[in-house]
């Protein structure tokens, strides 16, 4: 399994509750696509978010976002430096 960062830019501020609802929907969708959501980093005031997901491919990450109806700008494979 690889690690992927999902890049989100809503273009405007969003309420924290809306960000939380999107994360919850994404986590549920991940179960249907073989993904493991790890963490989300958000700035609701700027409408930006970055989520870290473990998956076999970026296509799985994209499919989970599509199912959750969470807009996604990009999916980038990453590695963690120790």
Instruction: Check residue 45 and give its pLDDT.
Output: 93
Rounded to two decimals, the pTM is 0.92
Structural domain count, the chain: 1
CA distance linking residue 68 with residue 55, whole number of Å: 16
- The stretches in the chain having pLDDT less than 70 are none
pLDDT at position 31 = 96
Please report, rounded to a whole number, the percentage of residues in the chain having pLDDT higher than 70.
100
Instruction: Please say whether the beta carbons of 3 and 60 come within 8 A.
Output: no
The whole-number pLDDT of residue 54 equals 98
Q: What is the CATH number of the domain that holds 33?
A: 3.30.70.3090
Edge to edge, what strands does the sheet with 2-9 contain?
A: 36-43, 48-55, 2-9, 74-78
């Amino acid at each position: 399994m690889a690690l992927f960062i999902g890049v989100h830019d809503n273009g405007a501020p969003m309420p924290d509750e809306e960000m939380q609802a999107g994360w919850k929907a994404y986590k549920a969708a991940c179960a249907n696509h073989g993904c493991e959501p790890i963490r989300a980093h958000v700035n609701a005031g700027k409408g930006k978010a970055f989520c870290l997901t473990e998956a076999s491919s970026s296509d799985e990450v994209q499919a989970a976002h599509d199912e959750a109806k969470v807009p996604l700008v990009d999916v980038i494979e990453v590695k963690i430096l120790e």
